[in-house]
Structure 1
Amino acid sequence: MTSALQVFMLPDLGEGLTEAELLNWLVAVGDEIRVDQPIAEVETAKSVVEVPSPYAGTVTVLHGEPGQTLEVGKPFISVAPVGAPVPAAEAAAETYREEEKAGSGNVLIGYGTPGGSGATGRTRARRSSVAPRPDNGTTPPVPSDAEKAADDLLLLRTRVPGKLGAVISPLVRRMAREHGVDLGAVHGSGDSGLIMRRDVEAAISSPAPAAAGPAAVETPVSAQAPSPTPTPAAEGTDSRTGLGISARTPVKGVRKAVAANMARSRSEIPEATVWVDVDATAMVELRAGLKKSDPHKTPGLLAFIARFVTAGLKRFPELNTRIETTSEGSQEIVSFAGINLGFAAQTDRGLMVPSIRHADRLSARELDGEIRRLTAVVRDGKATPEELGSGTFTLNNYGIFGVDGSAAIINYPEVAILGVGRIMDKPWVLDGGLAVRKVTELTLTFDHRVCDGGTAAGFLRFVADAIENPGSVLADL
């Protein structure tokens, strides 16, 4: 039997992303939706995005709950096409299994599907009221069709992403209810993780945790005898330190991506670091003079340094590359016809690195405009995957945090990162005498596989010289 149910798989929302956290649904079961209508908000490792539907029709199943982390390529939403009868819960579940195996519905965002003439308004389906069952010890009545449908849809909506976990047989569901078996904790032995009768019978016959040895007995907190000191296994107490645990924060979203990226960078890249102190007085004075004459169009100091960096990368293109491993297992250094300059921006969601595309073509004023625009975008959580994942070199201004220097970790898969410390008054030898100058520290961390120290030092010295004598490089501002 061919069913009209369409299952939309969660697509890759960025450059190689494998998962996304579901923030909230914008539609509900029973709603009528149109092609490209936003159906949910999800948070990837890079940004918060709205996911549009490639199908028009009536929503039958939402495969996930807000707060869950969903896998790319797994079912996201099931839709009955416009004009087709909405399948009953049993048929919807069966069709879902068939189409999941076939891989149907895996349509990329923005492409849509033919037949997008669905209704544009949201129409919430009515929910049938189910009378409570009497608890008088008699044989429970046969569930109504409405009860079955509600039961099945609940099971499908609360299943674990990436696993079928659905129970199709009414007998199995009733057996689980009568014996108090939590189906969410049962591992299905059937095809695609289908929970079978034997699985529920095994759960019923398995000894309860309380029947285990004395060491495994868990007594409710209210029933425990008072103890002068907490035991190492007490809830909320760390067994190693003996201190109370104040919070547990899941590592997910941006923090999870940053952790994975930094760990991979440190494990794969043989990095080295060079640094130099720089007299930035001339650059600071130049900007101050420009600000007096035109306060609204004067670039920030970071834009000046970004302009020096792009000029330096043109002279030392080895630092604007990427190392890739071929299918045969050999490595290649990939060079680029242009520079996408990333810069670190601190946000409420963590450290983000948006990139200025074709930064080598921009003047200092244009770079300043892009820095301001991208900073606002990432702080609002609206940056696109292209704006966050396309950098070829990163500039990190950690001086805004009031620190002098740092050996930064390379933003994998790039091969170098330049850090800029705070600009502060320091004694400096100038023309044979001491003077108070505006001094900053530049730190370059680079991948030793793509170049040697001479290239890294040459680039760093070029940027330092440009900061000390900015006029020539900033001729176009």
Structure 2
Amino acid sequence: MSAQTFLLPDLGEGLTEAEVVRWLVAVGDEVVVDAPIAEVETAKSIVVLPSPYAGVVAELHGAEGSTIDVGKPLITIDLQPVSVGPAGISATPSLSADSATSASGSTAGEAYREEEKAGSGNVLIGYGTPEGAASGRRRRPRARANGHAVGTLVEQRPREARNASPVTGAGSAASTEDRPRVPLVISPLVRRIARDAGVDLRALTGSGAGGLILRRDVEAAIAARSTVAAPAAPAVEETTSGAAGVVDARTGLPELRRTGMSGFRKAVAATLSRSRAEIPEATTWVDVDATALVELRESLRTATDAGPGLLALMGRFVVAGLRKYPELNGLVDGDDLVQYDGVNLGLAAQTERGLLVPAVPNAHTLTTRELDAEIRRLTEAARAGWLTAHELSSGTFTLNNYGSFGVDGSAAIINHPQVAILGVGRIIDRPWVVDGELAIRKLTQLSLVFDHRVCDGGTAAGFLRFVADAFENPTSAFADL
């Protein structure tokens, strides 16, 4: 029996390392080709790695929470023939819902399979997973750029969608009832918080749809436990004693805590630093009367159809503006200024992991209703941790609705290598002069930050004014789109 060591693969986007979030196998477990072996976190997303070998796990090269460089050993497998289940995923037991639980299946393996049904993240493919296998995984429709398919990740479907078909077979119900309760958790961050705090997820009842355990459920359990333990260990004393030995020389104050940056925060810091270091940015802004835009939004709402949201309407006008002023829809490549024939509209989304900017591919080809559906899908995927690396890196321009945080304006940092970002402040009632008369109108502020290398102020002002005019006269603007 020979052994093969699987090196951490290049996960794309120039990433050089990944953190082991969770091992899905243990030493001694049997695996087959494409069996999930580890969940890792890159700076871009959470990825489940499949095994390229069939055999018995001999060694895991790194503990959970450790960082492994690309090209370094991840797992060693002793090669041997292993029977393949009907799903082509595991010899013990199959992921098929109507299969009886095999006696050789470990509790850890069963737990993973149940959690995978709930949608644990993005799965790296390319090791032979058959299309339409009984594992329940489906290939994500690949985004297309200029007619060419791109992307190499598939999305795990939520439990509700994957368990839609009826379960058949006499032994199925009994085997399902005998299985240990596996918590329904999608977010790797939620699992990590629970693990670090010693919270047993199996004891929690999720407040999300279908019993989904959310971050607030874990934090409530931690808070409840802390309240019980408070008399024995006051929080103030713990904080003081924990930092008593470390005093900052500059301020003379004790450090409250010191934590290392995660791979995600490192990537964010590197991108923002590079943006500020390389891009000679300039900012221009304008106050806009969005009363007609809000009224149009309300007119599209019916008893049975919520209609496109405000962000979709804004995005539609932004896309139209970029088609008119393509200088802002490109990048700087050395001495070349590149403009794209199409728009992948990036949308800033605040999540538990931090600020993410997924992109709606080919937004210029979508209707307003289709754009709204994509925005909602991407927002949900961002918060659940289902975004692919392609969705997080393919944007050509970013729309940032920071008004949702209750602020009026911001000079945002351009999302490198893009060359512009448009921010939208909160929409609020304010006095405004209309036809020489003072009136109460719904005002917002648009703020455009742009790379001065790609255009001068006239072009930036023209784009900003185009979008502002569309906000103020949306019906007229739609007539020209």
TM-based fold match above 0.5: yes
Residue by residue over 1:317-373, the C-alpha shift from the partner in whole angstroms, topping out at 9 and shown as x without a partner, is 011101123xxxxx2222222110001111111111111000111111111111111
- Tell me which residue corresponds to 1:423: 427
Alignment of 1:111 with 2:126, yes or no, is yes
| SS state at 2:475 partner | coil
Provide TM-score, normalisation by structure 1: 0.66
C-alpha separation between the residues in 1 aligned to 2:306 and 2:450?
34
Distance 1:113 1:367 in 2: 34
Partner of 2:197: none
Q: 1:295 to 1:441 in 2, by over 3 A?
A: farther
Counterpart of 2:370 in structure 1 is 366
Q: 1:366 is matched by which residue type in structure 2?
A: E
Mean Cα displacement is larger for which, 430-439 or 7-16?
Answer: 7-16
Q: Offset of 1:109 from its aligned partner?
A: 4.8
Asked whether the 8 Å contact 1:303–1:364 carries over to 2, the reply is yes
Is this contact kept in 1: 2:356–2:392, CA < 8 A? yes
Deviations 1:90-133 (Å, cap 9, x if unpaired)? xxxxxxxxxxxxxxxxxx9523279xxxxx9xxxxxxxxxxxxx
The structure-2 alpha-carbon separation of the partners of 1:352 and 1:405, relative to structure 1 and needing over 3 Å to count, comes to: same
> Aligned to 2:246, which of 229, 236, 242?
236
Q: Aligned letter for 1:428?
A: W
* Correspondence 1:445 to 2:449: yes
Match for residue 137 of structure 1? none
Pairing partner for 2:404 from 400, 407, 419: 400
Structure-1 residue corresponding to 2:35: 37
SS in 1 for 2:474: coil
Tell me which of 466, 469, 472 is aligned to 1:462: 466
Quick check: 1:422–1:440 contact (8 Å CA) kept in 2?
yes
Take 1:58 and 1:333, find their aligned partners in 2: how far apart are those partners? 52
1:36 CA drift (Å): 1.0
Counterpart for residue 50 of structure 2? 52
The AA in structure 2 aligned to 1:309 is V
- Is the 2:419–2:450 Cα contact (8 Å) retained in structure 1? yes
Moved more, 38-47 or 390-399: 38-47
1:475/1:75 CA distance change after superposition, 3 Å: farther
| Dislocated runs of 4+, deviation >6 Å | none
Alignment length (residue pairs): 330
Is structure 2 residue 322 aligned with structure 1 residue 321? no
Give, in whole Å, the separation in 1 of the partners of 2:269 and 2:22: 25
The aligned residue for residue 63 of structure 1 is: 61
- Paired residues of 1:38 and 1:52 also in contact (CA < 8 A): yes
RMSD: 2.3
CA distance in 1, matches of 2:326, 2:312: 20
What residue ranges of structure 2 are gaps of 5+ in the alignment?
83-122, 130-134, 136-239
Q: Secondary structure at the match of 1:60?
A: strand
Is 1:267–2:277 an aligned residue pair?
Answer: yes
Q: Equivalences for 1:46-445 in 2 at 5 Å?
A: 46-83=44-81, 109-112=124-127, 235-291=245-301, 293-294=302-303, 296-325=305-334, 331-445=335-449
Q: Following TM superposition, by how much is the alpha carbon of 1:475 offset from its aligned partner in structure 2, in angstroms?
A: 4.9
* Mapped partners of 2:16, 2:318: distance in 1: 33
Are the structure 2 counterparts of residues 365 and 476 from structure 1 closer, same or farther at C-alpha, using a change threshold of 3 Å?
Answer: farther
Q: Deviation at 1:47?
A: 1.6
Equivalent-residue separation in structure 1 for 2:249 and 2:256 (angstroms)? 14
Contact 2:54 2:81 in 1 (8 A): no
Separation of aligned partners in 2, 1:324 and 1:81? 46
Structure 2: distance between partners of 1:47 and 1:109: 11
Q: Which has the higher mean CA deviation after the structures are superposed, 459-468 or 293-302?
A: 293-302
User: Any stretches of 5+ residues in structure 1 without a counterpart?
Assistant: 85-107, 115-119, 121-229, 326-330
Q: 1 CA distance for matches of 2:392 and 2:327? A: 22
Q: Contact 2:244–2:254 at 8 Å: present in 1 too?
A: no
Q: 1:51 to 1:282 in 2, by over 3 A?
A: same
Tell me the CA shift for residue 72 of structure 1.
1.6
8 Å contact kept, 1:307–1:474:
no
Contact persistence 1:397–1:421 (CA under 8 A): yes
1:214 aligned partner: none
**Does the aligned pair in 2 maintain the 1:297–1:365 contact within 8 Å?**
no
Q: Distance in 1 between matches of 2:48 and 2:480?
A: 40
The higher radius of gyration belongs to 1
**Per-residue Cα deviation, 1:394-445 (whole angstroms, up to 9, x for no partner):** 0000000110000000000100000000001111111111111110000000
Matched to 1:301, the amino acid is L
The residue identity in structure 2 corresponding to 1:323 is: V
Q: Secondary structure at the match of 2:265?
A: helix
Residues 324 and 333 in structure 1, CA contact (< 8 A), matched pair in contact too: yes
1:130-180 deviation line (CA, Å, top 9, x unaligned): xxxxxxxxxxxxxxxxxxxxxxxxxxxxxxxxxxxxxxxxxxxxxxxxxxx
Q: TM-score, normalised to structure 2's length?
A: 0.65
Identical-residue share of aligned pairs (%):
63
